[in-house]
Amino acid sequence: MSRIELLDSCLRDGAQAEGISFSINDKLAIVEVLDNLGIPLVEAGNPGSNPKDLEFFREAAKLSLKSARLCAFGSTRRKGVEAKDDPNLASMLTAGTDTVVIFGKSWDFHVTEVIRTTLEENLAMIADTVAYFRSKGKRVIYDAEHFYDGFKANRDYALKTLAAAADAGADCLALCDTNGGSMLPFIMEATAAAKKAAGAVAIGMHAHNDSGLAVANSLEAVNLGALHVQGTFIGFGERCGNANLSTIIPNLQLKMGHDCIPAEALIELTASARAIAEIANMALPDELPYVGRKAFAHKAGMHVDGVLKHTTSFEHIPPHSVGNERRVLLSEVAGRSSILEKIKKIDPTIERDSPVVADVLTSLKELEQEGYQFEGAEGSFDLLVRKALGKYKPLFKLERFRIIGERPAQDEGSQAMIKIVVDGQTELTAAEGDGPVNALDRALRKALERFYPSLKQMRLTDFKVRVLDGSDATAAKVRVLIESTDGKDIWTTVGVSTDIIEASWKALVDSVEYKLIREIGSKFGIFA
Amino acid sequence: MSRIELLDSCLRDGAQAEGISFSINDKLAIVEVLDNLGIPLVEAGNPGSNPKDLEFFREAAKLSLKSARLCAFGSTRRKGVEAKDDPNLASMLTAGTDTVVIFGKSWDFHVTEVIRTTLEENLAMIADTVAYFRSKGKRVIYDAEHFYDGFKANRDYALKTLAAAADAGADCLALCDTNGGSMLPFIMEATAAAKKAAGAVAIGMHAHNDSGLAVANSLEAVNLGALHVQGTFIGFGERCGNANLSTIIPNLQLKMGHDCIPAEALIELTASARAIAEIANMALPDELPYVGRKAFAHKAGMHVDGVLKHTTSFEHIPPHSVGNERRVLLSEVAGRSSILEKIKKIDPTIERDSPVVADVLTSLKELEQEGYQFEGAEGSFDLLVRKALGKYKPLFKLERFRIIGERPAQDEGSQAMIKIVVDGQTELTAAEGDGPVNALDRALRKALERFYPSLKQMRLTDFKVRVLDGSDATAAKVRVLIESTDGKDIWTTVGVSTDIIEASWKALVDSVEYKLIREIGSKFGIFA
């Protein structure tokens, strides 16, 4: 049971992921999320590498952080140059961090073939650089790049690079599986050898997921005595990504009994993962262990019965311990008990044999027959239940909409005109968009915002189309799933029709109504 | 170096994943992909559980498979009933498979609290069921459900359940980490104990990914002597999914020296993963080890230089060994041979170093960057190659189309007007349809039939829509795949746009042109 130090590299290695591009404000927001969670080290870039990084460090210094400390990151000194004369090292100091992370070469092949110097000079580059930052009073983490590939190629030399850093005063030696290709038994052998070579200096792990083993390799390094683990909070990084800290943290803390973030912060895990995904403008993978939307979703009837009888029966941890929630999915195989569980969230007084349960089941079956699927469309299911319970009132009436698309396109390609009525007041408006659904979405919200200003916070984050029966091709039924957020909650709604416009319309209306009914339901006397 | 038997459970455990719902044709198509790859066992459902499964087994029996064998899947007999009188066991026999997979309880808690019988009766249920299927000449794989949780709770009893199956004649004992919550050192301890208890009977592994360890746990089970690994090909399954075979296969085969699929099939790995994702209408995660689009993508300038100097420098395996490709900013030679093979189908005189191969590669890369994917869109790829070869001429010119949809709907809901020109002759027409794409499809073919009467034989048979990047929701790019037939041939075409109407239009045009160009190309002097 040890204290394991975590280093998050979202802002540095994570920024290497395809499709990731952070503004300074994005970076600051991520630092705050990680700090709130109690992650001790946050690796950022080198302020000398570009002006944006310099500005980031300046702005970050103004944050009042509880626990997180920023680390500047850079390579060992250049070959043939004294450390004090290397402008990259000097620029790292301008970041003003207590801790610096220095990466150097541990694979002889990289020394001779990529940076093209002698093995001896590389050892000197490591030692000089570490000693330089120690002389400036910095805590130094030495990242042994390609340590595992290096150990495979020339184990003596790989271990010598560690010794060079340790002898020069490094506080921690992070062993990197840079290409992510190492198998676990080899990781264990090399890590044990490194631990021995490091002596009293702490060792750490920096794993990549190219073989699907980044989490396992990190945990087994801890089992061998590593006290420091590097990764990115939701796993993004180059190629297949870095070791995912949102998986590693609960494994270390709940399963292995180690201590890495404050116990009370663990329930922030899921919300933190969603927040970072939002900031990075990427979809959080639904299947992600612990924090994914599906991580505690149960579909099969048998399993649902099992879970409801005894939650440990099909759940490895209580979902709320990481701030996630159990989701009982509604599907053809779902029975009365899973429906009841959902209904009780809206009205806890409803009992198993209440007629409303049978009504909801009947509606569900009819709608599933039409092609609806409510698993993963809780927003629409919530509205369905409210309708059955009499806790629903339409929030607007559609008079008419018309969408037009043409090629060659004028302006944005599609236009939508819409006319709605709210409380006897008519609103007629129009919008353009990329395609008819986008135009219709914009027109609907534009028309409603006058009556319901909170819709301004709402936006659509995902849109899925499933053709239900391909054999009728373009006349087949389509099911549209829309995911929306208002920054706090995420909800999904569904619509089905042979016309994609109509299916999208149904899902859009549900999405808006789901938000508004929970928010202002009481005003309309919808809640009992 | 052993022969490791793989069992794919896409059709059974995979179908438990949220959002997955397979038609019979989808299931048959997946069986063919897995067969083509050389996966030996494909687990499907129980034909007795619903009529769709029964029909699936009937249709699947008509496939001519090279190597894959289907397995029926079901539980042990009910408590207090003789195996021969249990209708579920009888119905499993109707599937007509050589191999059956029987799951039973290995966790005492589940025996007493979930199925509510005695520990002795559960052992009898396991033994009777295995013996029953053995007496019917079936090979029996026994899935020890919750084996690891059971071993933790009551190791003697968990091992007794394995012995019950082994003594009754089971051919393989698959140890299930059903909740996916076990850490690796414990998995290793329990697996070693199971291996000892199993004696001469093979053991296997069935892992779930709730702790991010499904791949690692499977590989370490193999290191301890397991000869059978269960998973789903691209990892989908309940909650966080099953062990991902597309990761496990190359780890076993390229890294650990085991034998699981034919060596020459390994280059089909990436295409197979994409095909299964397409059939399941889910996005293949870009970060997936080995088969993901980003698995060999290099962004960092330093890394790209490294890769270009020495590919092993930042790549753990050669991407082409699993049919994937390196993606860098600069145009690259990877993929040339597979492209050449396709080009030779249209013009056998083209050689590897012909400029047209480079032209096609460049166009392909540009289009893939836009979101196109030509796997399973051979019609569009054929047209792309013909364009590069100068063997293409547009068969009509679009002057303008306009689609209109409105609610409340008049008539069929959507109308399309179209104006085209063929050989200087203008045709202006209109059609109605269920939704704008259907109306446009009808209008286009109505306008063209006057010039190309053979289009009367053509019809669209499938239509798929994939939203490429959900984060922009209704303004995101969509990829439309259209499958068409003229009764003789079947072909698929693709279109991409932020506007679903335009994406559909591109796929529709390709579909019509693909048919006509092969048919009447010679009339236009398009063929050399």
**How distant is the Cα of B175 from the closest Cα of chain A, in angstroms?**
16
Helix (H, G, I), strand (E, B) or coil at A300: coil
Q: Which of B113, B436, B482 sits opposite A405 (nearest CB)?
A: B436
Q: Which of B239, B414, B483 sits opposite A499 (nearest CB)?
A: B414
pLDDT band at B403 (very low <50, low <70, confident <90, very high): very high
Q: Which of A289, A313, A465 sits opposite B114 (nearest CB)?
A: A313
Euclidean distance between CA atoms A254 and A247, whole angstroms: 11
Euclidean distance between CA atoms B206 and B208, whole angstroms: 7
Q: Answer yes or no: is pLDDT of B522 > 80.
A: no
Does this model's pTM top 0.80?
A: no
Q: Which of A240, A404, A462 sits opposite B287 (nearest CB)?
A: A240
Q: What is the residue whose two structure tokens read 């059971």?
A: B150
Tell me how crowded residue A432 is: count the other CB atoms within 10 A of its CB: 16
More confident: B466 or B79: B79
DSSP 8-state class, residue A321: G
Whether residue B183 and residue A437 make contact (CB cut-off 8 A), yes or no, is no
Contacts of B405 in chain A (CB under 8 A): 402-403, 436, 499, 501-502
Euclidean distance between CA atoms B280 and B300, whole angstroms: 33
Euclidean distance between CA atoms A436 and A440, whole angstroms: 6
Euclidean distance between CA atoms A446 and A456, whole angstroms: 9
Least Cα distance to A407 among B440, B380, B435 occurs for B440
Contacts of A406 in chain B (CB under 8 A): 400-403
Q: Which of A341-355, A415-429, B125-139, B410-424 has the lowest mean pLDDT?
A: A341-355
Q: Cite the DSSP H helix spans in A287-389.
A: 301-309, 336-346, 355-370, 378-389
Mutation choice for A interface testing from B399, B463, B477 by most A CBs within 10 A: B463
Q: Which of A331-335, B52-56, B83-87, B217-221 has the lowest mean pLDDT?
A: A331-335
Whether residue A239 and residue B296 make contact (CB cut-off 8 A), yes or no, is yes
Specify the amino acid at residue B511: S
Res B261: pLDDT: 97
Whether residue A499 and residue B436 make contact (CB cut-off 8 A), yes or no, is yes
Q: Which of A218-222, A524-528, B5-9, B194-198 has the lowest mean pLDDT?
A: A524-528
**How distant is the Cα of A10 from the closest Cα of chain B, in angstroms?**
15
Evaluate whether B219 touches B252 at the Cβ level (below 8 Å). yes
Q: Answer yes or no: is pLDDT of B332 > 80.
A: no
Res A345: pLDDT: 80
Euclidean distance between CA atoms B405 and A502, whole angstroms: 9
Whether residue B239 and residue A287 make contact (CB cut-off 8 A), yes or no, is yes
pLDDT per position as a tens digit, A133-160: 999 999 999 999 999 999 999 999 999 9
Evaluate whether B302 touches A302 at the Cβ level (below 8 Å). no
Helix (H, G, I), strand (E, B) or coil at A519: helix
Asked casually if ipTM beats, i.e. exceeds, 0.90, the reply is: no
Burial of A89 from C-beta contacts in 10 A (0-12 / 13-18 / 19+) = buried
Contacts of A299 in chain B (CB under 8 A): 16-18, 238
Give φ, ψ of A331 to 5 degrees: -150, 180
Least Cα distance to B92 among B157, B36, B140 occurs for B140
Helix (H, G, I), strand (E, B) or coil at A384: helix
Contacts 24+ apart (CB under 8 A), A57-63: A57/A94, A57/A95, A57/A96, A57/A97, A59/A24, A59/A28, A60/A27, A60/A28, A60/A31, A61/A96, A63/A28, A63/A31, A63/A32, A63/A35
Angle of the A301-309 helix axis to the A336-346 helix axis, nearest 10: 60
pLDDT band at B329 (very low <50, low <70, confident <90, very high): very low
Whether residue B502 and residue A473 make contact (CB cut-off 8 A), yes or no, is no
Angle of the A214-223 helix axis to the B214-223 helix axis, nearest 10: 70
Whether residue B316 and residue A398 make contact (CB cut-off 8 A), yes or no, is no
pLDDT band at B226 (very low <50, low <70, confident <90, very high): very high
> β-strands B397-407, B228-231: how paired?
unpaired
Res A279: pLDDT: 79
More confident: B370 or A94: A94
Tell me how crowded residue A262 is: count the other CB atoms within 10 A of its CB: 13
Least Cα distance to A328 among A288, A300, A370 occurs for A300
Res B338: pLDDT: 62
Would you say the C-alpha torsion A344, A350, A352, A354 has a positive or negative sign? Answer: negative
More confident: B369 or B407: B407
Euclidean distance between CA atoms B134 and B140, whole angstroms: 7
CA B146 vs CA A220, A260, B72, B373, B423: distances in Å:
23, 29, 20, 40, 70
Q: Cite the DSSP H helix spans in B210-285.
A: 214-223, 245-250, 269-279
Q: Which of B240, B292, B407 sits opposite A398 (nearest CB)?
A: B407
Q: What is the residue whose two structure tokens read 């040890």?
A: A2
Cα-Cα-Cα-Cα torsion B361, B364, B368, B374, nearest 10 degrees, comes to -120
Q: Which residue of B has its CA nearest to A437?
A: B474
Q: What is the mean pLDDT of residues B329-351?
A: 65
pLDDT per position as a tens digit, B286-300: 899 999 988 998 764
Q: Answer yes or no: is pLDDT of B376 > 70.
A: no
pLDDT per position as a tens digit, A170-214: 999 999 999 999 999 999 999 999 999 999 999 999 999 999 999
Helix (H, G, I), strand (E, B) or coil at A192: helix
Whether residue B238 and residue A300 make contact (CB cut-off 8 A), yes or no, is yes
A460 Cβ neighbours under 8 A, 6+ residues apart: A441, A482, A483, A484, A511, B473, B474
Whether residue B223 and residue A373 make contact (CB cut-off 8 A), yes or no, is no
DSSP 8-state class, residue B467: E
Q: Which residue of B has its CA nearest to A292?
A: B240
Evaluate whether A469 touches B22 at the Cβ level (below 8 Å). no
Whether residue A299 and residue B18 make contact (CB cut-off 8 A), yes or no, is yes
Euclidean distance between CA atoms B368 and A282, whole angstroms: 20
> Which residues of chain A are modeled with pLDDT < 70?
19, 281, 300-309, 329-337, 375-376, 469-475, 521-528
The pair of three-digit structure tokens given for residue B515, joined into one six-digit string? 């048919």
Res B524: pLDDT: 52
Tell me how crowded residue B307 is: count the other CB atoms within 10 A of its CB: 19
